Structure 1
């Protein structure tokens, strides 16, 4: 299992970085759209859609919603303050605050949404749609003056989340004794949690020194800490929904890693939250 995970990671990471820097905005948006549709297909399991046809419809409707939102944007104007983008990012901030309450109060919280398919579909929309707009908004950051500026920001968030995941895994394996959320994900520990945050802090410090990120230290620190915490929440939230659905992995697309949602669960929270703080709260434009 570990060997296949490492091999897949060595293949996927260079491809992801190449897509960040080499794909034009439209190509990047279409690639992200495809990932979101696959994620919606997998979320169908969480929503209680047992048949493949129902899950295909969920994926198609998610893609249609995102395409309609993109076409509703004014031509040649993709400001983060447009209602389609800003609204999605603010919705993400609200949703993940709500998800925190669901996770902290689980399994009691599940009584209110376990038997409600519309609620679980809405949870999926609030997870996937803001993730799409967070990715697009960050990639288009200052694109007119520097086509790579947004790519650097996205790479920063990706490394932050990858560092948190890897650090949590290593510290948890070596020192893990105290369970972080045993009712949601028994394998996660407080030692892994703090190890992941430490790894993220080191990555943030090094990347901030070496990469062209034009932002004050205090703003970068605030965005990074909240994004790292959000990444843990994204992971725990997906674990909660998988537990309710009675499945171990959201899919089998990626050898050794499970499904698309298993790989982007942390990013679905970290990316839109980071984008909201960076672009809307701190106004780094």
Structure 2
């Protein structure tokens, strides 16, 4: 009961703050992403078991911070080159180690963590991309709220349907509590949430396209959640950290969102805004 109370209080405080940051956009959104990136990188490397010197950790985190600002000013091209630069830097930092197999494993793990967490920068890209088509700067915020709403409804439906009605295990070895029934419920209700957004009539996007967006985000979000569960199970931990009272860590709260962010961005760019 105490944990539930803590979760509710934190949510009551955090949700309006995040909503305000997203609505405003620009520098506050970049700073918000900076915070997520810093904490998530720390969580990942702590969980991965990779022994990284403190100075090296600081350099990786600084590169993550700089990447977010470059993305804000120069777009997705900056993200591509920043990730490419990280690959070469991490490669050079491990190439002179005597144990080649260990060095290779270390480099792959470090690069995967950096690449995975840099997906947070798609939040910036989505927030800023609306100016391509619309004069109203708030459209980026609309799409981010759309993403969060679909993910929330999907996760909630998967839990409340899968818990009492679930019989078929979706992935027993990775996440024993997830069921096929819950997975399907997440897809259905995530799509319905997207349809609900389409009824707001705030844009000229066809309803069927909105539903397809919702279905895809719900699908990718649940797979992202499963991937995070696999990583934590391999490390033998329940939560990535306890930095958010009652909610675990940043990677715990955004496990469904990380893969969904680039999915939504590219669907908007090449499917919704293609004309």
TM-score by length of 2: 0.81
* 1:67 is aligned to 2:61: no
CA distance in 2, matches of 1:62, 1:206: 39
List alignment gaps of at least 5 residues for structure 1.
92-111
List alignment gaps of at least 5 residues for structure 2.
85-100
Q: Residue in 2 aligned with 1:103?
A: none
Q: Residue in 1 aligned with 2:256?
A: 266
Moved over 4 A (4+): none
* 1:251 is aligned to 2:244: no
CA distance in 1, matches of 2:19, 2:71: 29
Is the partner of 2:130 in helix, strand or coil?
coil
Whether the 8 Å CA contact 1:197–1:228 is kept in 2: the answer is yes
CA distance in 2, matches of 1:284, 1:2: 44
* 1:58 is aligned to 2:57: yes
Q: Deviations over 1:229-273 (max 9, x none)?
A: 111111111111111111111000112211110001111111111
Which has the bigger relative contact order, CA under 8 A and spacing at least 6? Answer: 1
CA distance in 2, matches of 1:129, 1:280: 21
* Bigger Rg over Cα: 2
Is the partner of 1:242 in helix, strand or coil?
helix
Structure-to-structure mapping, 1:75-224, within 5 angstroms: 78=74, 82-85=76-79, 87=80, 116-132=105-121, 134-143=122-131, 145-210=135-200, 212-224=202-214
Structure 1 residue 281 displacement after superposition? 4.7
Whether the 8 Å CA contact 1:219–1:282 is kept in 2: the answer is yes
Is the partner of 2:111 in helix, strand or coil?
helix
Is the partner of 1:142 in helix, strand or coil?
helix
Q: Residue in 1 aligned with 2:18?
A: 16
Structure 1 residue 127 displacement after superposition? 1.4
Is the partner of 2:177 in helix, strand or coil?
strand
CA distance in 2, matches of 1:140, 1:120: 31
Q: Deviations over 1:55-95 (max 9, x none)?
A: x843651442451564487x6xx5x5x5235x48xx9xxxx
* 1:32 is aligned to 2:28: no
Structure 1 residue 130 displacement after superposition? 2.3
Larger proportion of helix: 2
CA distance in 1, matches of 2:4, 2:68: 40
CA RMSD between the two structures: 2.8
Question: Residue 72 and residue 190 in structure 1: after superposition, are their counterparts in 2 closer, same or farther (change >3 A)?
Answer: closer
